[in-house]
């Protein structure tokens, strides 16, 4: 047998070592000699109009990349980690356009529209799709709206901020695709598209059953003093267990895996439907909403980024029947945060189903806020009556409201429901209530010296007070705590 020269063993070992070193150098870097775009950038996408447009991706380190969209172009060089990015100038609504990226290879994204882009996030009531909602067959058959586009971000917790997330891409709205769209987002988009006449893009990053904390970025927690204990322990969230899995309910987990990969995609704002999994937290939920909203605005670099959310619907959760009212109170308090809005839902829920099927009105009511606040329809009535003030008048209490619209009404023509009143003993009893102009007068013969009123302060409350535009009054109590209290 022929003996191999001793130097060949040394050479083989050297080659093996070189291979290992090369693999280590490329760890965490795309295996590239080609252009790669993130999942959120691709065919059929909608880009945000009238904002600078970030476009980014990866290529072999040091490669010069040229990006073209319409008449605009820009160049960048891939860094040591392979990432490159450019910002194209703002564009007017329209299309279709083609995005071309030339580097180690050439990548194109076709059928691109420019319009309005909204992030649709939260738990199951945002993830709930058109096929699961009211009148699915009719709605699906009628969904010929090629200017509405949707991308679904898969469930993907992560222990660190991810650069990308797999997705099957943007879908053009049609009877063949709409069944899987977020229903709340779709009906929001449909109303906006009808009113504005521009393309609407929806980024569906949502997960049923999730709490608010995993969606919140580190900077959000750090901005809210009431959440200092979470902020001080961020390095402990989230962590992998012995099986390598991450608890998706821990702080940061879904921000890392489902929000960070979207950055810095230009958007108009966000719509949010969540809170059921935080039920029972009372005004602490208001603090967590501040963290989420402030955190997302910091990520996108826009303090005035719109954030519109859905009031939780009545439902028989069990336990203390006023726990849900505590979340309602926290949501109402969040309206004090600039550039927010709330779609009230106490009239369109189902106390036996935590997933009310009427997502058409939910989406439309969110759209009313956007139309009024972002798209110049200043004369629009976009909210139902909201508690403003109270005044004791003898044995009665007069309640004044904001957002009375064309006037206060009983939605079903029956006496007003779900009002309670109490004296100094704080024993609340069922009360009578009547509309008097733009206010409601509340009383009970058993409470001669009243001091406080509560309205719809129960998890199954479906009150009949609304304005003439059909938007319901929101639950309230005149003996409300100050923000930060857990009462």
pLDDT tens digit sequence for 252-282: 999 999 999 999 999 999 999 999 999 999 9
For residue 4, pLDDT beyond 50? no
The C-alpha angle 11, 15, 21, rounded to 5 degrees, equals 145
**What pLDDT, on the 0 to 100 scale, is given for residue 1?**
41
% of the chain surpassing 70 pLDDT:
92
**What pLDDT, on the 0 to 100 scale, is given for residue 481?**
65
φ, ψ of residue 55 to 5 degrees: the values are -130, 135
**What pLDDT, on the 0 to 100 scale, is given for residue 107?**
98
Average pLDDT, the chain: 93
Please give the full DSSP string across 139-179, using - where no structure is assigned: HHHT--EEEEEEEEPPP---SS--S------EEEESTTTGG
Mean local confidence (pLDDT), 58-66: 98
Integer Cα distance of 393 and 329 in angstroms: 25
**What pLDDT, on the 0 to 100 scale, is given for residue 3?**
45
Q: Which residue has tokens 């308090």?
A: 333
**What pLDDT, on the 0 to 100 scale, is given for residue 480?**
77
Integer Cα distance of 300 and 302 in angstroms: 6
pLDDT band at 340 (very low <50, low <70, confident <90, very high): very high
**What pLDDT, on the 0 to 100 scale, is given for residue 196?**
98
Integer Cα distance of 156 and 240 in angstroms: 13
Give me the residues paired with residue 400 across strands: 389, 439
For residue 446, pLDDT beyond 70? yes
Using an 8 Å Cβ cutoff, are 283 and 483 in contact? yes
Q: List all residues 6 or more positions away from 17 whose beta carbon is below 8 Å from its beta carbon.
A: none
For residue 112, pLDDT beyond 90? yes
For residue 242, pLDDT beyond 90? no
Q: List all residues 6 or more positions away from 479 whose beta carbon is below 8 Å from its beta carbon.
A: 422, 426, 451, 452, 454
Tokens of 124: 């199951």
CA 386 from centre of chain: 23
Mean local confidence (pLDDT), 414-441: 98
Strand bridging mode 46-48 / 72-77: unpaired
pLDDT band at 297 (very low <50, low <70, confident <90, very high): very high
Report pLDDT digits (tens) over 212-233. 999 999 999 999 999 999 999 9
pLDDT band at 5 (very low <50, low <70, confident <90, very high): very low
Residues of the chain with CATH 3.40.50.1110: 18-382
Q: Which residue has tokens 């759209």?
A: 367
Mean local confidence (pLDDT), 44-71: 98
Tokens of 422: 């109490």
Report pLDDT digits (tens) over 127-186. 999 999 999 999 999 999 999 999 999 999 999 999 999 999 999 999 999 999 999 999
Please provide the CATH number assigned to the domain covering 18-382. Answer: 3.40.50.1110
For residue 21, pLDDT beyond 60? no
DSSP 225: G
Report pLDDT digits (tens) over 92-111. 999 999 999 999 999 999 99
Q: Which regions of 194-285 does DSSP assign to beta strands (E)? A: 200-206, 269-273
Mean local confidence (pLDDT), 383-411: 98
For residue 483, pLDDT beyond 90? no
pLDDT band at 482 (very low <50, low <70, confident <90, very high): low
Mean local confidence (pLDDT), 34-63: 98
């Amino acid at each position: 047998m022929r003996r191999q020269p001793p130097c060949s063993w040394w050479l083989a070992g050297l080659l093996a070592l070189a291979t290992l070193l090369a693999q280590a150098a490329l760890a965490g870097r795309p295996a590239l000699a080609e252009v790669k775009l993130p999942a959120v950038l691709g065919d059929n996408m909608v880009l945000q109009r009238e904002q600078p447009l970030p476009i980014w991706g990866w290529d072999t380190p040091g490669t010069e990349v040229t990006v073209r969209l319409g008449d605009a172009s820009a160049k960048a060089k891939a860094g040591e980690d392979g990432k490159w990015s450019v910002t194209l100038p703002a564009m007017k609504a329209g299309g279709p356009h083609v995005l071309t990226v030339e580097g180690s290879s050439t990548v194109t994204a076709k059928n691109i529209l420019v319009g309005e882009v909204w992030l649709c996030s939260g738990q199951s009531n945002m993830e709930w799709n058109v096929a699961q909602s009211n009148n699915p067959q009719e709605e699906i058959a009628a969904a010929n709206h090629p200017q509405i586009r949707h991308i679904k971000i898969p469930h993907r917790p992560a222990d660190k901020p991810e650069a990308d997330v797999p997705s099957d891409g943007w879908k053009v709205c049609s009877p063949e695709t709409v069944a899987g769209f977020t229903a709340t987002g779709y009906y929001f988009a449909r109303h906006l598209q009808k009113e504005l006449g521009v393309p609407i893009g929806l980024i569906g990053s949502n997960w049923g059953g999730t709490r608010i904390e995993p969606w919140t970025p580190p900077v959000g927690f750090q901005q809210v003093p009431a959440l200092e204990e979470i902020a001080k322990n961020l390095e402990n969230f989230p962590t992998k267990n012995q099986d390598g899995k991450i608890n998706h309910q821990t702080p940061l987990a879904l921000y890392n895996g489902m929000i960070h990969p979207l950055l810095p995609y230009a958007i108009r704002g966000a719509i949010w439907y969540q809170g059921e999994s935080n039920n029972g937290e009372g005004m602490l939920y208001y603090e967590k909403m501040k963290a989420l909203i402030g955190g997302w605005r910091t990520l996108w670099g826009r303090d005035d980024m719109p954030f519109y959310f859905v009031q939780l619907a009545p439902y028989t959760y069990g336990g203390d029947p006023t726990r849900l009212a505590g979340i309602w109170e926290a949501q109402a308090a969040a309206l004090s945060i600039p550039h927010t809005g709330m779609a009230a839902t106490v009239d369109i829920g189902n106390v036996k189903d935590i997933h009310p099927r009427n997502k058409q009105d939910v989406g439309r009511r969110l759209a009313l806020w956007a139309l009024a606040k972002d798209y110049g329809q200043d004369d629009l009535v976009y909210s139902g009556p909201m508690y403003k003030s109270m005044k004791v008048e003898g044995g009665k209490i007069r309640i004044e409201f904001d957002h009375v619209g064309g006037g206060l009404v009983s939605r079903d023509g029956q006496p007003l429901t779900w009002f309670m009143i109490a004296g100094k003993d704080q024993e609340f009893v069922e009360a009578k209530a009547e509309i008097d102009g733009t206010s409601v007068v509340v009383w009970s013969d058993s409470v001669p010296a009243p001091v406080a009123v509560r309205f719809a302060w129960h998890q199954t409350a479906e009150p009949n007070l609304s304005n003439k535009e059909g938007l319901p009054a929101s639950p309230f109590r005149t003996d409300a705590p100050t923000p930060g209290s857990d009462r």
